[in-house]
């Protein structure tokens, strides 16, 4: 395995986790999404999705709105402006890592 060179870009570990990255990627493509849509789009279990949404909300990357409809709670999730900015920065970091890897291997 190649050694990481000094100055290698630091990856945001909150976003980098696969389930959270999937959630953020889905949310970046729409204005908001309900829990069931996110569960279907990401393939996550209810429990895992719930845990990951809580983590993203605690990090300020998303906002969660819960409304009672016909005796059921409807959960709607939206990417925050901070979340959108940090996700864009994450993708820029990944691009720099890719470019750095290409120059080191080529």
Contact 5, 104 (CB under 8 A): yes
Q: Domain for residue 7, yes or no?
A: no
Residue 5, in any domain of the structure: no
Domain count for the chain = 1
pLDDT at position 66 is 95
Q: What is the CATH number of the domain that holds 84?
A: 1.10.10.10
Q: Is residue 46 part of a domain?
A: yes
- The helix (run of H) or strand (run of E) holding residue 69 is strand 62-69
Give the model confidence (pLDDT) of 16-75 as tens digits. Answer: 999 999 999 999 999 999 999 999 999 999 999 999 999 999 999 999 999 998 999 999
Asked whether residue 37 is domain-assigned, the answer is yes
The answer to whether residue 48 sits within a structural domain is yes
**Is 43 part of a structural domain of the chain?**
yes
Range of the domain at 89: 13-100
pLDDT computed for residue 9 by the predictor: 76
CA distance 44 to 33: 15
DSSP three-state, residue 61: coil
pLDDT confidence bin for 1, thresholds 50/70/90: very low
Query: pLDDT tens digits for 79-89?
Result: 999 999 999 99
Q: pLDDT band at residue 101, thresholds of 50, 70 and 90? A: confident
């Amino acid at each position: 395995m190649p050694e990481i060179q000094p100055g290698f870009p630091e990856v945001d570990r909150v976003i980098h986790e696969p389930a959270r990255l999937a959630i953020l990627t889905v949310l970046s493509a729409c204005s908001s999404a309900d829990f069931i849509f996110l569960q279907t789009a990401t393939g996550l279990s209810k429990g895992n999705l719930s845990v990951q949404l809580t983590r993203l909300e605690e990090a300020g990357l998303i906002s969660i709105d819960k409304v009672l409809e016909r005796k059921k709670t409807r959960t709607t999730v939206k990417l925050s402006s901070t979340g959108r900015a940090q996700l864009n920065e994450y993708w820029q970091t990944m691009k720099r890592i890719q470019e750095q890897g290409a120059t080191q291997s080529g």
